[in-house]
Amino acid sequence: MRKCANVTNVMLTLSALVVSSLAATAEEIKVNLRKQVVPEPVVQQDVGQWKPEETAIIICDMWNEHWCKGATARVAEMAPTMNTVLTIARARGVTIVHAPSSCMKFYEDSPARKRIQTGYDDPEVRKILGGENWCNALPSEEFVKWPVDQGDGGCDCNPKCQQGGPWKRQIETLVIDEEKDLVSDSGIAIASYLKAKGIKNVIIMGVHTNMCVVGRPFGLRQNVRLGNNVVLMRDLTDTMYNSQKWPNVSHFRGTDRIIAHIEKYICPTITSSDFTGEPPFRFKDDTGK
């Protein structure tokens, strides 16, 4: 009798956990949006309530290896926190899109890749994006000086790393749920899928903020042009910036300058805290503010 009672208690506990989990999934996601008003340097905070089923996260170019050793190390450092965010978001019903550009060959047999590989080519989306094109600036950025000099490629290592393209796949730390997630580097396919599913809230994380994150066909600027509620997760990103170049600040303060530019002229930002409830991620070498 004692054994049966224990089993019953366990089953009741599990049932309660399942109900609690389902209830949590149905809750809207509270996002703390930060933007900056120009020309005055005024930071504004706003709160959004997003339905999980209307929300997606796009992970930009979190490759297994970068040509810059410093960039590779920073990707590896933030990947565990990023995976925690993805796990929580997925459980709540958020769509997860893995976008490791130029690595689609590695995922040719992946169900997550095949799920979005065909059937998503909306004519209106294609017209707005103009094809698989980068967007180098929005009208709001037209007369604004770019906040860092990245003309040398942005490697902050000494000696400098040799440029190339060693990436083959997304870093393994980021788990791909083959039954739920998507894998694509096509701006048209991703935007068409999101439109077909009624997804208007888009969170972008990954690297590099001053290059791929803002400019890719699935990046921040193109999502703005599509009319999506797009935000950057500002603590789970990095820049390609050499601190020996203008404006001669540390690597991490260079990232801050790019984030400020995005908040002023492109879109708001949020942090991982909105999902984890923990303090925002910070690189171990980022010791200053």
Radius of gyration of the chain, Cα coordinates, nearest whole angstrom = 20
Query: In this structure, what token pair is assigned to residue 60?
Result: 């930009």
Tell me: cis bond preceding 247? Omega within 30 of 0 counts: yes
Alpha carbons 254 and 239: distance in angstroms, whole number: 7
Percent of the chain residues past pLDDT 90, beyond the cut: 89
Domains, in order of start, for the chain: 52-276 (3.40.50.850)
Res. 156 pLDDT band, cuts 50 70 90:
very high
pLDDT of residue 30: 97
Contact 203, 218 (CB under 8 A): no
State the burial class of residue 274 (Cβ atoms within 10 Å of its Cβ: 0-12, 13-18, 19+).
buried
pLDDT of residue 131: 96
Question: Out of 22-26, 67-71, 159-163, which region has the weakest mean confidence (pLDDT)?
Answer: 22-26
pLDDT of residue 289: 62
pLDDT of residue 44: 96
Alpha carbons 102 and 129: distance in angstroms, whole number: 19
Q: In the block, which residue shows the tokens 């949006």?
A: 33
The model's pTM is: 0.91
pLDDT of residue 49: 97
275-286: average pLDDT: 97
| 154 φψ region: left (φ > 0), alpha (ψ -120 to 50), beta (else) | left
pLDDT at 12 over 50: no
105-125: average pLDDT: 98
181-210: average pLDDT: 98
pLDDT at 205 over 90: yes
